[in-house]
DNA sequence: CCGCTCCATCAAATCGTTTTGCCTCAGGGT
DNA sequence: ACCCTGAGGCAAAACGATTTGATGGAGCGG
């Protein structure tokens, strides 16, 4: 093997200079052969290519990054990669930018603002070409003080007033409205909602309310309860709903986990779903098809969100687009399954 | 703000040379203040620190990487970050190395060998300090031909005979044996197993067999069926088991998804679990506590695996350890829940 | 034969650090 | 007086690529 022979002959990696001397040309020429930025004679090119192959040359990307000021690396900062929503989002992003040769540097913040800031700093210092920020709707804009005006930032799920910051936001409100309208169209009369904690998921509540208004359904305060996004929280919220003197015949939950908790209560009470009570969730997590019956829900397009974030990023990195912050909103379609 | 003032005054970032001239010293001295590798007079240090603060200097990490030949970045190559097992593993790794200032570059291979090779190359070219390879048990050692002897590699779930490659392997076999013994100790007589596809998960099968032998349970061939790791696969395997003239009263599944499929069949047939038939899974995925009753299973320690991979890596990167490949095996404890 | 354009190539500067070798000065021991 | 040591500082050489300006011919019209 010429490769291993070359590798063993010298401790470290082959440099462009060694290729050049082996081929009897200057480093410049080798660089031009590789990049194609200037014309190179066919014969010379052949010699150089041979030398490259023979020595097993691989370019040192760090050196290139230093000179070109591009790293072909983008940072994605999420609360927790363990959360399937962010895992899928990250995958969508990775798939979108992979073809263009960009790697993805994943940062877990656990939603802590100081970690968000730390990773912003770190990403800038490392010279990433772009940052995708998906820390949920509570994205404080504190950390943007730290940011270099050069590197593009994409915000997912929240709109920020940073000049060069594009945003991609799933259309929670329309999705929730669809869920509400759907329940109404099925003839359910007393439709309740299990919301998220105060100040969270407000657009989901808004969409639901607007649907109820359009369908001429009254929603007394007792039918609007809250949970903390967890299965247990949904369980308890559903308990209080079912303890009402006159029970709801349908309930829309602000996320799937709470919907699953609500389903637990229905099973516990011996209620059949959706005959006795209908349930609709939001997010379309994997678990939605594991419970029985399968959960009717609204899809939160994580993969697509990551993908369009990647596209927006690349359009800026390439210089194709240099204008003000764009906003693309993604539809959240209703997925009809067994619980409504 | 002195920071923004400095930033606006010049287009690009502040360099160490600017700090030096602002403080009236040489770049060398600034570097020494930052790194502490050589003594610097207290007065000088103060001046330099002030200059750094005043100009808002941030070191250019790319330049540093080029000079020091370390990137403080480690690559983790997994089949798919979307798979919760690998997401958790990645998080464990990230948490372990984060404190030491290492970032994690995530690569999704989808289990394709050419992508594995491509990312190996890419990671080497980018100058990562280490690679964690978690592409499951079928890790071909093809891509190791590409690898620079310098950069340490940790293999998760498979043992490779690369000289400097440490391995961390979850103890599937003991875990499976525990599952089998547990079923036997509960008095189940006809214990079946739904295995993975041929050549996969052999140690899980081995552990189960050894437990059966120790418990003096016969396992006729008809009780050893196969699925393809999916819920559907488990469903079908369970169907054929339940179509037997004499049914098993317990079944151990090589992973949770198949166990959930088996559970579907039990529900469909009106069998009560675990009275009529017991079911035990493997992995302890989130879904295990979503099904009813909650799945009794064997825990596959993803987080710990990622964490110890990080530790092994750091011990090599720091030069603390330079010996032959180590192997650490992680226990897979049985988690008793409702299905057995 | 001159001037012009193209093509191919090269030398040298640059990116922003870290690190090595050398210098100076002060102080202490003999 | 002399040597030695340690502290504190600087100049310059890496690190390994890309990029710019210059150069030397070749081809060609006038």
Which run of H or E residues covers position A167? strand A165-170
At A73, is the secondary structure helix, strand, or coil? strand
- Encode chain A (340 residues) as per-residue pLDDT tens digits: 344 444 433 446 899 999 999 999 999 999 999 998 888 888 889 999 999 999 999 999 999 999 999 999 999 999 999 989 999 999 999 999 999 999 999 999 998 888 988 999 999 999 999 999 997 655 555 555 556 678 999 999 877 767 678 999 999 999 999 999 999 999 999 999 999 999 889 999 999 999 999 999 999 999 999 999 999 999 999 999 999 999 999 999 999 999 999 999 999 999 999 999 999 999 999 889 988 899 999 999 999 999 999 999 999 999 899 888 899 999 999 999 999 9
Residue B58 CA to residue B13 CA, distance in Å, equals 8
Q: Calculate how close chain B gets to A117, using CA atoms only, in Å.
A: 14
Residue B46 CA to residue B59 CA, distance in Å, equals 18
**What pLDDT shows up at residue B192?**
98
Residue A177 CA to residue B220 CA, distance in Å, equals 56
Residue B221 CA to residue B104 CA, distance in Å, equals 46
Size of the A and B interface in Cβ pairs below 8 Å: 107
Give the β-pairing of A297-298 and A334-335: antiparallel
Q: Are B265 and B233 in contact (CB under 8 A)?
A: no
Nearest CA to A74 among A100, A101, A117, A104? Answer: A104
Interface test with B, best of A2, A4, A5, A62 (most B CBs within 10 A): A62
Q: What is the DSSP string of A185-237?
A: HTT--SEEEEE-STTSSHHHHHHHHHHHHHTT----GGGEEE--SSHHHHHHH
**What pLDDT shows up at residue B71?**
96
Q: Are B154 and B89 in contact (CB under 8 A)?
A: no
Provide, as residue numbers in chain A, all residues whose Cβ is less than 8 Å from the Cβ of B104.
105-106
Q: Does nucleic acid strand D have an atom less than 7 angstroms from the CB of A12? A: yes
Q: Calculate how close chain A gets to B191, using CA atoms only, in Å.
A: 25
Q: Are A168 and A330 in contact (CB under 8 A)?
A: yes
The second-level CATH assignment, the architecture, of B69-170+302-331 is: 3-Layer(aba) Sandwich (3.40)
Nearest CA to B98 among A119, A277, A5? Answer: A119
Residue B63 CA to residue B66 CA, distance in Å, equals 5
Nearest CA to B131 among B106, B113, B158, B110? Answer: B106
Provide, as residue numbers in chain B, all residues whose Cβ is less than 8 Å from the Cβ of A60.
66, 125, 127
Q: φ and ψ at A105, to 5 degrees? A: -105, 110
Tell me whether residues B106 and A90 touch, CB distance under 8 A.
Answer: yes
Q: Does a cis peptide bond (omega within 30 degrees of 0) precede residue A135?
A: no
Residue B145 has pLDDT above 80, yes or no: no
pTM as predicted = 0.90
Q: Does nucleic acid strand D have an atom less than 7 angstroms from the CB of A186? A: no
Q: Are A297 and A283 in contact (CB under 8 A)?
A: yes
Q: Does a cis peptide bond (omega within 30 degrees of 0) precede residue A274?
A: yes
List the structure tokens of A65: 């990054």
**What pLDDT shows up at residue A9?**
38
**Mean of pLDDT values over B124-148:** 74
Neighbours of B211 (CB within 10 A): 25
Per-residue HEC secondary structure of B95-162 comes to HHHHCCCCEEEEEECCCCHHHHHHHHHHHHHCCCCEEEECCCCCCCCHHHHHCCCCCCEEEECCCCCC
Per-residue model confidence as pLDDT tens digits over B172-216: 999 999 999 999 999 999 999 999 999 889 999 999 999 999 999
Residue A103 CA to residue A148 CA, distance in Å, equals 20
At B251, is the secondary structure helix, strand, or coil? strand
What is the homologous superfamily of the domain B2-59 according to CATH?
lambda repressor-like DNA-binding domains (1.10.260.40)
* Length B21 CA → C28 C1' (Å): 35
Dihedral, A268, A274, A280, A281 alpha carbons, nearest 10 = 40
Q: Does a cis peptide bond (omega within 30 degrees of 0) precede residue A27?
A: no
Provide, as residue numbers in chain A, all residues whose Cβ is less than 8 Å from the Cβ of B82.
84, 87-88, 91
**Mean of pLDDT values over B271-280:** 96
Strand order in the sheet with B224-226: B224-226, B191-195, B250-253, B278-280
Neighbours of B160 (CB within 10 A): 16
Residues from A contacting B (CB-CB < 8 Å) are 7, 13, 58-63, 65-66, 71, 73, 80-82, 84, 87-88, 90-91, 94-95, 103-108, 121-122, 124-127, 148-149, 231, 260, 267, 286-287, 290-292
Tell me whether residues B287 and A290 touch, CB distance under 8 A.
Answer: yes
Nearest CA to A145 among B7, B50, B62, B57? Answer: B7
Q: Do domains A70-170+302-331 and A172-298 have the same CATH topology?
A: yes
Q: Which of B58, B127, B148 sits opposite A125 (nearest CB)?
A: B58
**What pLDDT shows up at residue A5?**
41
CA separation (Å) from B55 to A144, B31, B48? Answer: 18, 15, 11
Q: Calculate how close chain A gets to B158, using CA atoms only, in Å.
A: 23
Nucleotides of C under 7 A from a protein CB: 7-12, 14-21
Residue B2 has pLDDT above 50, yes or no: no
Q: Which of B62, B149, B290 sits opposite A260 (nearest CB)?
A: B290
Fold annotation for A70-170+302-331? Rossmann fold (3.40.50)
Q: Are A256 and A295 in contact (CB under 8 A)?
A: yes
Residue B10 has pLDDT above 70, yes or no: no
Q: φ and ψ at A299, to 5 degrees? A: -80, 130
Q: Are A19 and A57 in contact (CB under 8 A)?
A: yes
> Which residue is listed with tokens 């940011």?
A147
At B70, is the secondary structure helix, strand, or coil? coil
Q: Does nucleic acid strand D have an atom less than 7 angstroms from the CB of A31? A: yes
Per-residue model confidence as pLDDT tens digits over B302-340: 999 999 999 999 999 998 998 888 999 999 999 999 999
Per-residue model confidence as pLDDT tens digits over B206-229: 999 999 999 999 999 999 999 999
**B268 Cβ contact partners less than 8 Å away, ≥ 6 residues apart:** none
**What pLDDT shows up at residue A150?**
81
Q: Where are the domains of chain A?
A: 2-59, 70-170+302-331, 172-298
B109 pLDDT tier (thresholds 50, 70, 90): very high
> Which residue is listed with tokens 């999704």?
B108
**A317 Cβ contact partners less than 8 Å away, ≥ 6 residues apart:** A70, A129, A130, A152
Residue A161 CA to residue A172 CA, distance in Å, equals 20
Q: Are A154 and A308 in contact (CB under 8 A)?
A: no
**What pLDDT shows up at residue A41?**
87
Q: Are A278 and A250 in contact (CB under 8 A)?
A: yes
Q: How buried is B23 (Cβ within 10 angstroms: 0-12 exposed, 13-18 middle, 19+ buried)?
A: buried
Tell me whether residues A106 and B84 touch, CB distance under 8 A.
Answer: no
**What pLDDT shows up at residue B5?**
42
Fold annotation for A172-298? Rossmann fold (3.40.50)
Report the share of chain B in percent with pLDDT over 90: 80
Residue B4 has pLDDT above 80, yes or no: no
Nearest CA to B311 among B148, B116, B11, B97? Answer: B97
> Which residue is listed with tokens 């690349």?
A314
Residue A112 CA to residue A134 CA, distance in Å, equals 13
């Amino acid at each position: 093997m010429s490769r291993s022979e070359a590798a063993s002959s010298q401790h470290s990696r082959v440099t462009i200079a060694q290729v050049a001397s082996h081929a009897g040309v200057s480093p410049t020429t080798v660089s031009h052969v590789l990049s194609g930025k200037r014309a190179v004679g066919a014969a010379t090119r052949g010699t150089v290519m041979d030398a490259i192959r023979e020595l097993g040359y691989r370019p040192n990307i760090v050196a290139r990054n230093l000179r070109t000021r591009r790293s072909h690396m983008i940072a994605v900062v999420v609360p927790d990669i363990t959360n399937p929503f962010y895992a899928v989002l990250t995958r969508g992003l990775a798939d979108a930018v992979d073809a263009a040769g960009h790697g993805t540097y994943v940062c877990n913040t656990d939603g802590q603002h100081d970690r968000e800031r730390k990773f912003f700093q770190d990403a800038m210092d490392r010279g990433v070409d772009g940052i995708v920020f998906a820390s949920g709707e509570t994205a404080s804009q504190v950390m943007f003080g730290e940011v270099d005006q050069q590197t593009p930032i994409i915000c997912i799920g929240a709109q920020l007033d940073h000049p060069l910051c594009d945003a991609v936001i799933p259309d929670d409100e329309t999705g929730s409205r669809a869920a509400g309208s759907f329940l109404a169209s099925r003839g359910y009369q007393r439709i309740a909602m299990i919301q998220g904690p105060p100040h969270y998921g407000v657009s989901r509540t808004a969409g639901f309310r607007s649907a109820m208004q359009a369908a001429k359904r009254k929603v007394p305060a007792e039918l609007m309860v809250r949970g903390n996004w967890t299965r247990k929280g949904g369980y308890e919220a559903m308990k209080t709903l079912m303890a009402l003197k006159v029970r709801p015949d349908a309930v829309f939950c602000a996320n799937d986990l709470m919907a699953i908790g609500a389903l637990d209560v229905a099973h516990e009470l011996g209620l059949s779903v959706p005959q006795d009570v209908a349930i609709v969730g939001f997010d379309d997590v994997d678990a939605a098809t594991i419970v029985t019956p399968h959960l009717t829900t609204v899809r939160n397009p994580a993969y697509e969100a990551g993908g369009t974030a990647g596209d927006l990023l690349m359009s800026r990195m390439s210089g194709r687009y240099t204008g003000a912050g764009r906003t693309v909103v993604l539809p959240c379609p209703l997925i009809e399954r067994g619980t409504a």
